[in-house]
Amino acid sequence: MTNGLPAADMGGIGLAVSPVNPDIIYAIIESTPDASGFYRSADRGASWQKMSSHSAQGQYYNVIFCDPKTLDKIYSMETFSQLTEDGGKTWTRLETTNAMSTIMPCG
């Protein structure tokens, strides 16, 4: 279940399974600078695709949450929380004044 994941040593990894489609798994991985990033599996972890170089900003551990209704909408709880609506290709920083009213954690 490592096909497509970094071959380098990996540190903190945050995982989330989509409640919209349980075949979809997301991972945010801390590794070497070229291997760290956000990964997506469409086959329950059998293979992975790197979606972007977005990682947890040097944090050892990171938590990600899937939106319960929208596939490919994921929240990353970091020092400055982030949101992606395209499966991890692009990320937007959540403003702290509105972040808690926007976040809907998965069951």
- The edge-to-edge listing of strands for the beta sheet with 13-17 is 13-17, 25-29, 37-41, 49-52
Q: What is the pLDDT of residues 93-102, one digit of tens each?
A: 988 665 455 5
| pLDDT, average across residues 57-80 | 87
pLDDT of amino acid 97: 65
pLDDT of amino acid 107: 47
Range in 28-32, 65-69, 77-81, 83-87 the model is least confident about: 77-81
Chain length of the chain: 107
Summary count for the chain: helices (H), strands (E): 1, 8
| pLDDT, average across residues 33-41 | 92
pLDDT of amino acid 56: 76
Q: What is the mean pLDDT of the chain?
A: 87
